[in-house]
Amino acid sequence: MKAEKGNNLEKELQKMLIAIHPADPCVAETALKRWNSIAKPLHSLGKLEKDIIQIAGMTGDPNVHLDKKALLVMCADNGVVEEGVTQTGQEVTAIVAENFLTGNTSAAIMCRQAGVDLFPVDIGMVTDTKVPDVKIRYGTANFVKEPAMTRGEAVRAILTGIQIARDKKKEGYQILCIGEMGIGNTTTSSAVASVLLGKEPEELTGRGAGLDDSGLQKKIQAICTGIEKHHPRADDPVDVLAKVGGLDIAGMAGICLGGAIEHIPVMLDGFISDVAALLAVHLCPAVKDYLLISHVSKEPGAGMVLRELTAEKASDVHGMNLGMCLGEGTGAVAYLPVLELGLSVYQEMSTFAENQIEDYKDYTKENPAKDSPEKTEANIGGTPCCM
């Protein structure tokens, strides 16, 4: 019976993936022309212009609006903390999660300032709290000893994230920021990234919330042991997630997929959300079109993951570089007001023609509308994405 239910869940996920199509390049081109008509030096707002163009393509509307904004924080615990890979215990996850409800977290304070609605979600904490509950299980298992979760649980968590994104679209939200709370989740993220990128754990594993040298070595060893023990398959993202991942990663990956299904932008936060996005892109490459990068986390693996997501050189990864590594969606929320400043110029500024100024000539041949993934057999509209 369990196997049959699991197969049905995977079929449901596959149907969702088939529903994802690339962003509209014609609408993106219209947004580019609007930017190029504005009476200022061409491309002079850099990433802000590119992101607005990308949002136009995502939504299918060059009249971009970001009036209703949400931060979705996936809260979950990770059994691998048993291996001494963190400074604190799992009890901290529940404490911080409930503080989201009282507004007493960094992300909550920043959301109030930025006009963002905050939605914490319990997708897998070991403790029951007042946080809205879509719990898949009470924390993952310690992947050093056994797989973090079953394949069916991993798929359920992804589908849960998809549904959350779809619900927020129905509620009128125009952009979704993603964040997480869960002690031990830089360990799970490093493990997932290591497999999906084909890198050694030592290359992309950092100190998280301030591990000393001994703690860092325990963390790397735990990841190496988990990968060696369970042999997660890089060509099967769900297998990787189930064996060495986390429920917060699964939920955020689902939100990325749901954003693509509903043609709504998803703003990434730091390393953990970047890994969730990487997982979603491995499930369906066209998801790349619907992701916005807020900042480059100081975790060593962050740049590697973002380069995979954007196909850009290390020096060209577009995102604020503020040395942040707090999580909770703080980086995503921090970038939103900056993006909205750019949007105000796009919406309100007069054109060269209106000012009776000759248009600038574009000698750079730069075309921000073409920054999205190239059309390939893997992501042309109507072509199914494969799990």
Which residues does the annotation mark as catalytic?
Answer: 328
> Amino acid letter at 355?
N
| Long-range pairs, 221-225, Cβ under 8 A, ≥24 | 221/83, 222/80, 222/83, 222/85, 222/143, 222/144, 222/187, 223/187, 223/190, 223/191, 223/194, 225/144
Do 269 and 332 touch, CB atoms closer than 8 A?
yes
- Decide: helix, strand or coil at residue 74: strand
Q: Tokens for 201?
A: 């754990």
Query: Alpha helices, DSSP H only, in 175-236?
Result: 185-197, 201-204, 213-230
Task: Answer whether 169's CB lies under 8 Å from 262's CB.
Answer: yes
Polymer length of the chain:
387
Q: Say what the alpha-carbon torsion angle 361, 317, 181, 104 is, to the nearest 10 degrees.
A: -50
Residue with tokens 């041949």: 365
